[in-house]
Amino acid sequence: MKCPFCKEESFAKKKNIMEGWKVARVVEVCALCGAELPQKETENPSGDERDARRAGLAAFLGGDDVEKVSLAGNADRDFCRNCANFIEHPFRTLCGISGDAADPMGSCDKFADKK
Ligand SMILES: [Zn+2]
């Protein structure tokens, strides 16, 4: 690549922008002059960021343990979320019978026990 600042044939290197002791963000800088390069929006996240995102998603989904604990006190109900046809996605839930979005707390006469 050609650096837009020093106009030399250079390459981008990662630089951590620190905020106290934490890395606030990682930018690409010119290896020769150190100028901050225009950041690519589509840049692939580093492995660390991917892991953090996955951990965040796992926390968002609650995980099996959390789910069991939160349901322990509830009476068994024929909620769609307890149905064998209930398909759980990270951001939406589907009914395996109709293929439509399913309300986790809904119910229908086609309820099938998961267990
Ligand atoms: Zn440069």
The answer to whether position 4 is within a domain reads yes
Quote the ligand 1 centre to 12 CA distance (angstroms): 9
Mean pLDDT of 18-45: 84
Number of domains in the chain: 1
7-11, 44-48, 90-94: which has the minimum mean pLDDT?
44-48
Quote the ligand 1 centre to 28 CA distance (angstroms): 11
- Predicted pLDDT at 74: 47
The answer to whether position 70 is within a domain reads no
Return d(Cα 65, Cα 63) in angstroms, integer: 6
The answer to whether position 101 is within a domain reads no
Q: Which of 48, 51, 14 is nearest to 31 (CA)?
A: 14
The answer to whether position 115 is within a domain reads no
Quote the ligand 1 centre to 29 CA distance (angstroms): 8
Return d(Cα 100, Cα 12) in angstroms, integer: 47
Q: Tell whether pTM > 0.85.
A: no
Helix H or strand E encompassing 63 = helix 63-72
Give the range of the structural domain holding residue 15, as residue numbers without chain letter.
1-41
Average pLDDT, the chain: 79
- Is residue 26 within 8 A of residue 17, CB to CB? The reply is yes
User: Which amino acid, one-letter code, is at 14?
Assistant: K
Between 68 and 36, residue with greater pLDDT: 36
36-40, 45-49, 56-60, 70-74: which has the minimum mean pLDDT?
70-74
